[in-house]
Amino acid sequence: MLDAAFMCRWMSVTAAAVDREAARLTDLDSAIGDADHGANLRRGFTTVTEVLTKETPDTPGAVLALAGRQLISTVGGASGPLYGTLLRRAGKALGDATEVDRERLAEALGAGVAAVAQLGGAAAGDKTMLDALLPAVEALGASFAAAAEAADAGALATVPLRARKGRASYLGERSVGHQDPGATSAALLMGALAEAAA
Partner 1 sequence: MNMLINVPETVVADALRGIAAAHPSLTVDVENRVVVRRDAPVAGQVGLVSGGGSGHEPLHAGFVGPGMLSAACPGEVFTSPVPDQMVRAAAAVDGGAGVLFVVKNYTGDVLNFDMAAELAEDEGVVIAKVLVDDDVAVNDSLYTAGRRGTGATLFVEKIAGAAAAEGAPLERVEAIARQVNASARSFGVALTACTTPAKGSPTFELPPGELELGVGIHGEPGRERRAMMTSREIADYAVQVVLDELRPTSPVLLLVNGMGATPLLELYGFNAEVHRVLAERGVPVARTLVGNYVTSLDMAGCSVTLCQVDEELLRLWDAPVDTPALRWGR
Residue 132 or 197 with smaller CB distance to partner 1: 132
Please say whether the beta carbons of 124 and 134 come within 8 A. yes
The DSSP 8-state label assigned to residue 178 in this structure reads S
Question: 166 vs 7, 77, 190, CA distance in Å?
Answer: 29, 10, 22
Compute the least distance from the CB of residue 88 to partner 1, in Å: 11
Among 166, 188, 189, 190, binds partner 1 (CB under 8 A): 166
**Surface-to-core class of residue 13, CB atoms within 10 Å of its CB (0-12 exposed, 13-18 middle, 19+ buried):** buried
Compute the least distance from the CB of residue 117 to partner 1, in Å: 13
108 closest CA partner among 132, 87, 136: 87
157 closest CA partner among 130, 139, 188, 138: 130
Helix (H, G, I), strand (E, B) or coil at 98: coil
Spell out, one character per residue from 64 to 93, where the chain touches partner 1: x when CB under 8 A holds, - when not. --------xxxxxxxxxxx-----------
Between residue 90 and residue 129, which ones bind partner 1 under the rule CB under 8 A?
119-120
Compute the least distance from the CB of residue 82 to partner 1, in Å: 7
Compute the least distance from the CB of residue 48 to partner 1, in Å: 14
What is the separation of C-alpha 193 from the centre of its chain, rounded to a whole number of angstroms?
10
Compute the least distance from the CB of residue 182 to partner 1, in Å: 10
Among 2, 33, 93, 140, binds partner 1 (CB under 8 A): 33
Give CA–CA dist 53/106, Å, rounded: 25
- 10 Å Cβ neighbour count for 72? 17
Among 36, 131, 152, 180, binds partner 1 (CB under 8 A): 36
Count of residues that interact with partner 1, criterion CB under 8 A: 34
Compute the least distance from the CB of residue 178 to partner 1, in Å: 11
* Residues of the shown chain interacting with partner 1 in the complex, contacts defined by CB under 8 A: 26, 30-36, 39-40, 43, 72-82, 119-120, 163-167, 169-172, 174
